[in-house]
Chains A and B, each alone.
Chain A
Amino acid sequence: MVAKRKAKPVKPAEPDVTPETLKQFFHDMLLIRRFEERAGQLYGMGLIGGFCHLYIGQEAVVVGMQAALTEGDTIVTSYRDHGHMLACGMDPKGVMAELAGRRDGYSHGKGGSMHMFSREKNFFGGHGIVGAQVPIGTGLGFAHHYRDDGFISVTYLGDGAINQGQVYESFNMASLWKLPVVYVIENNRYGMGTSVDRASARTDLYHRGTAYGIPGEQVDGMDVVAVHHAGIAAAEHVRSGEGPIILEMLTYRYRGHSMSDPAKYRTRDEVNRVRSEHDPIDHLRQRLIDGGVATEAALREVEKKVRDIVAEAAQFAQDCPEPDADELWTDVLAEA
């Protein structure tokens, strides 16, 4: 472990976010938004099958968090993972091709939407079982601790996963052994169709580590700058050897749980209100323009650039062949 410094306050004075960083946030969030919309459309055309969980509405969480990390830190999340992959710097073409089950997808078409990985980008999935990524992410933190390499694990989970038993088994061990893990709870208010208050005895999820001595903080997950600041402080806390920390990001998903969502468990007004009043991208756009950081024209350039990236990814996925039949038998076991 890096030299054990004295505990840093969880909330240091907010560092300035440079104009360049703000513009990058806008680009990254918009890329996720447009990518996900296109994924929804490709699903509609039958080019993407099975389960497909879109991240639309939650973009500020992963973009603000990832920008707070160091290269070498490790990331793991659940099945609503497309945004995380893009924010980790994975190639949109490879992600979209995997969604379409094609040869040049990140998993050669064998993983699909919920199971994608990138060793190069330290992205450890993409896990389809609710909560299962939490012990795994804790194990990533264990490996950093064991190797004393100064890196940290960022383990994302949803408000649905927070009631899984293995999450608390993980919290206990992470705190007991002072593992460098930031647990990011993406509270989008619904676990599938069940609202947090119908599933959780206490709805302030950042308290969930209290029994294990893990500090927690609630963050406006629709504000990328707030997320970023919280992420920097949390990363510093765990990197200094103080043990894990929990960040509860209050966010919202605009789309259904998956593509076959009956949309009966919440009102349209609720969705529209969040969209019109709290959209993370609109919010940042306004901030950029009001602050004189970017002009309307400059942002349109970004939009065009993003549209081209997404169009290219979609075309790549559609043009890419299915995996060869031989691929059925590969990668079950490694050569001993």
Chain B
Amino acid sequence: MSSEVLMPALSPTMTEGKIARWVKSEGDSVRAGDVLAEIETDKATMEVEAVDEGILARIVIPEGTDHVAVNTPIAVIAANGEEVPEPAARPAAKPPPPEPRREPPRDTGRAGNGAAPPASVALPISEPEYAGKTVTQTVREALRDAIAEEMRRDADVLLIGEEVAEYQGAYKVSQGLLQEFGARRVIDTPITEHGFAGLGIGAAMAGLKPIVEFMTFNFAMQAMDQLINSAAKTRYMSGGQMSCPIVFRGPNGIAARVAAQHSQCYASWYAHVPGLKVVAPYTGADHKGLLKSAIRDPNPVVFLEHELVYGESFAVPDDPEFLVPIGKARIARAGDQVTITAFSRMVKLALEAADELAKAGISAEIVDLRSLRPFDIATVVASVKKTNRIVSVEEGWPFAGIGAEIAAIVMEQCFDWLDAPLRRVSGKDVPLPYAANLERLATPQVDDIVAAAREVAYR
């Protein structure tokens, strides 16, 4: 049976092209894979190969012909020994009609529009009240205990990063872990963030559960491609076949007097990315409970700590099964006149601001966001519906920051409840300066939060 060779497209947008050259002549016998002709556009060239064996019975479009429409028959291949009838005159074939495109459901950020909720929004999560035994310990000890408990529980959990083993952690988070678990599971790396982040991701894809420590998240920028393109996207790109159960953790945000390259909040960078979970706790209990949840989570989790919080002490649950769910905010202080959202170290400043505001007769509700992706919209919206006013606080830059996202959420979900526009308190829109006075000016202070709250309260 004879078959037609059609004019191919070099790209989905190409509609016509030129037959640059016929490599085979009429009457030539051809085998599958033989190059028949070369096609070109102004940009590219491509070879057309025979699919079946046979005789090149007829060249319909001679070489040198330009503006040949895609899918026009350009030649006829006959089976060996077959007669080929003259073709009836026919118009150039049109490209096949495109498959009907189904519009994807619109992501309005609201649940209940028939589509699955976007992964950035937390589903309703219950968090049981913890009533068990607690111990007073620092955040760094709470993190250490969380790691140790999970490593005891699951032999696939390991800790890898710079100075995590012999040095006992650059910020002393991993103290004693090498002694308990040995060098097989507590692994010092060379200073190669890109490499060991990618290595951890490969190990996670193979089923291990690495905790990758970045000495600070500033250095994780070296590994950004692996975090975003490999860790976050592979489950989706594999149609759910691949999993990447990994935790990237370390200090984030503004430390003291280390200047621009070592002081930056990456919360909005990571929170932007579907396929990641992002948490930034403040209290000791939340550090412990969220890190344990992160280690048990089958997804890549970015766990943002803070150098200036490591030494703070809290009452921390002493229970290996104590977990804090990812995706749930916490009311750190109840109030009814203004909502203040914050995460990580900024919760401390917001609580201090609330004390100041109380002296002025303003009742502030502090929402400790804890999770940035998925984001607990319900808790923030419920608070705004109660207080009718909101201030967001973050160390990061204002533009396209977490506060900007909260402003959008409030606009979309509870605009009619607002009695004043949202105000953002954020790091100033400059690289962080070194000088003590300038550094103070560039970072959010308690006074800034108080002023913003008074402004939205018109008091």
Binding site for B on A (CB under 8 A): 33-34, 37-38, 40-41, 43-46, 49-50, 74, 76, 105-111, 115-119, 124-129, 132, 134-144, 146-147, 153, 165-166, 169-170, 172-173, 176, 255-256, 259-263, 303, 307, 322, 325-326, 328-336
Contact = CB atoms under 8 A, between A and B. Distances in A.
B97 to A, nearest CB: 11
A266 B118 CA distance: 48
B240 interface: yes
Interface in B212-245: 225-226, 229-230, 234-243
Contacts of A119: 241-242
A107 B299 contact: no
A135 B197 contact: yes
Interface of B: 6, 8-12, 32-33, 43-49, 51-52, 70-71, 95-96, 99, 102-105, 115-116, 118-119, 158, 184, 189-190, 192, 194-208, 225-226, 229-230, 234-243, 274-275, 277, 293, 296-299, 326
A35 to B, nearest CB: 11
Contacts of A322: 99, 102
16 contacts: A43-B8, A44-B6, A108-B239, A109-B239, A111-B238, A115-B237, A138-B195, A139-B201, A143-B203, A256-B46, A262-B45, A322-B102, A325-B102, A328-B104, A332-B275, A336-B296
A169 B235 CA distance: 25
B239 A41 contact: no
B195 A132 contact: no
Contacts of B205: 124, 136, 139-140
A59 to B, nearest CB: 12
A172 B104 CA distance: 45
Report which residue of B9, B202, B229, B277 has the largest number of chain A beta carbons within 10 angstroms of its beta carbon. B202
Contact of B52 (A111, A138, A307, A336): A307
B44 A173 contact: no
Contacts of A255: 47
Contact of B198 (A135, A260, A325, A333): A135
Nearest to A172: B190
A213 B127 CA distance: 52
Nearest to A263: B45
Name A's interface SS: mixed
B236 A331 contact: yes
Contacts of B225: 129, 132
B44 A256 contact: yes
Contact of B208 (A49, A109, A146, A153): A146
B278 to A, nearest CB: 12
A173 B199 CA distance: 9
B202 A135 contact: yes
Contacts of A173: 189-190, 192, 195-196, 199
Contact of B239 (A49, A331, A334): A331
A328 to B, nearest CB: 5
Ranked nearest first, the 10 interchain pairs of A and B with the lowest CB-CB distance are: A139-B202, A44-B8, A135-B198, A169-B195, A143-B206, A329-B116, A136-B202, A108-B239, A331-B240, A169-B192
B116 A326 contact: yes
A44 B235 contact: no
Contacts of A328: 104-105
Contact of B9 (A44, A76, A134, A135): A44
A118 B10 contact: no
B80 to A, nearest CB: 13
B33 A129 contact: no
B9 A45 contact: yes
B272 to A, nearest CB: 14
Contacts of B95: 46
A40 B39 CA distance: 13
